[in-house]
Amino acid sequence: MATEPQDGRLVELEGVRKSFGPHVVLDSIDLSIRRGEAVVVAGPSGSGKSTLLRCINGLEAIDAGDIRFEGQSIPKAGKGIYRLRAEMGMVFQSFNLFPHKTVLDNVTLGPIEVKGLSRLDAQTRARALLERVGIPEKADAVPADLSGGQQQRVAIARALAMEPKLMLFDEPTSALDPEMIREVLDVMRDLARDGMTMIVVTHEMGFAREVCDRLLFIDAGAIVEDAPPEEFFRGAKSERAREFVDKIIHH
């Protein structure tokens, strides 16, 4: 039986450490995220943002500490890790769609192969998801015929098709042309408003301000700020975060 904390914490990290060789990438991270929260993670390149997401969904094993999902420690390996990963959707900067499969096949593959849905059920659900991300007419296209923004929305639909409890986004708009960024952020905003729990690594500070409950600022593997966006922008506590905000806003 999962022993989820009563206060609705979905993800908890306690003293999480991760090193690559001598290089400490995550240094005693403590963090808890409640169901329904949308959290933005920002910080300089190399500060550990992607590694944090990869540890949460079990793509990287941690060296010390504990990560719990619904009150249960994330298994180190084996079958448990696959079951857990199916509960979390991950969206990357580079959409990672199957290039030779249609949009519909990209979105139905997981539900059919992993969840055992019938092709028909999977397709019905996939079409509803394509509608939700605003590209119902692209079901039969292949990824190469879509814009970057459309491909990223397919990637989001594909993740949602697994009915995840948590969505992890790693710089989902940083490979996109400016005119496509908005359409992807709008889909993410709607998801957050519908109550999806999400952790979003992004430097889109307008999105953070408008959509997110909390903004985490990571520097050198440590969370140095954890505050509601308004508070963060009004006056970050650390010099490093203030410099960062300055740079981004006056970019």
Ligand X SMILES: Nc1ncnc2c1ncn2[C@@H]1O[C@H](COP(=O)(O)OP(=O)(O)OP(=O)(O)O)[C@@H](O)[C@H]1O
- Binding residues for ligand X (CB under 6 A): 20, 25, 43, 45-51
> Which lies closer to ligand X via its Cβ, residue 58 or residue 111?
58
Residues that bind Mg ion (CB under 5 A): 49-50
**Count of helix runs (H) and strand runs (E) in the chain:** 9, 10
Residue 111 binding partner per list Mg ion, ligand X, none, with a CB distance cut-off of 5 to 8 Å that depends on partner kind: none
Residue 45 binding partner per list ligand X, Mg ion, none, with a CB distance cut-off of 5 to 8 Å that depends on partner kind: ligand X
- Scored b (16 or more CB within 10 A) or e, 23-34 reads ebbbbebebebb
The residue written with tokens 């009150």 in the block is 71
- Reduce the DSSP state of residue 247 to 3 states and report it: helix
| Smallest distance from ligand X to CB 88, Å | 17
> Which lies closer to ligand X via its Cβ, residue 61 or residue 128?
61
The whole-angstrom separation of Cα 57 and Cα 8 is 19
Enclosing H/E stretch for 109: helix 103-113
| Smallest distance from Mg ion to CB 22, Å | 20
> Which lies closer to Mg ion via its Cβ, residue 18 or residue 49?
49
| Smallest distance from ligand X to CB 11, Å | 17
Q: Which residues contact 132 (CB under 8 A, 6 or more apart)?
A: 157, 160, 187, 190
> Which lies closer to ligand X via its Cβ, residue 93 or residue 102?
93
Residue type, 18: K
Residue nearest to Mg ion (CB): 50
Cβ contacts of 230-233, under 8 Å, gap ≥ 24 = 233/205, 233/209
Residue 158 binding partner per list ligand X, Mg ion, none, with a CB distance cut-off of 5 to 8 Å that depends on partner kind: none
| Smallest distance from ligand X to CB 82, Å | 21
> Which lies closer to ligand X via its Cβ, residue 25 or residue 160?
25
| Smallest distance from Mg ion to CB 132, Å | 27
Residue 48 binding partner per list Mg ion, ligand X, none, with a CB distance cut-off of 5 to 8 Å that depends on partner kind: ligand X
Separation of CA 228 from chain center:
18
